Amino acid sequence: MKRFALSLAALLLVPALANQAEASPKNRYDATSQTCRVLDDGPLEWASRPYGEGGKLFRNGCKGCHSRNNDKGAPFLWVESKTSKGWNLIFATRSPNCAKSGAWDTMTIEQLQKLNDYLYRWAANSQDANDSC
């Protein structure tokens, strides 16, 4: 009887975990370009493709200033620091000091979009179906 209960629990868990992996958003509205962007990083594949281009931009560019105990006065950021809508607002308004000071001007529009795509997809509420278009 115990084996049956464990098997039944395992069978019920598999679809729940599959739905969790598929819950991350598939697209987002980009206010800057006024387009609907398809997020193409695939499902949760941390082992084989953990970051994509947007993740590399975040890790190699943004984290240089936005790391813990930085000497630049930039707030510490991680992907989950904002919700998906919050990250979209940051990019649409270019409100952070780093955007105003010209640090974002080193990236192309396509790189900024991929960075925003990455942050939107893995944001604080990214396990909700939060497609914005």
Q: Residues 67-112: pLDDT tens digits?
A: 999 998 999 999 999 999 999 999 999 999 999 999 999 999 999 9
* Cα-Cα-Cα-Cα dihedral sign, residues 64, 75, 35, 45: positive
**Total-model pTM:** 0.73
Altogether, the residues listed in the chain come to a count of: 133
Q: Please, what's the b/e burial string for 46-58 (b: 16 or more CB within 10 A of its CB; e: otherwise)? A: eeeeeebebbebb
pLDDT tens, position by position, 9-63: 555 554 544 444 555 678 889 998 899 998 865 544 443 455 688 899 999 999 9
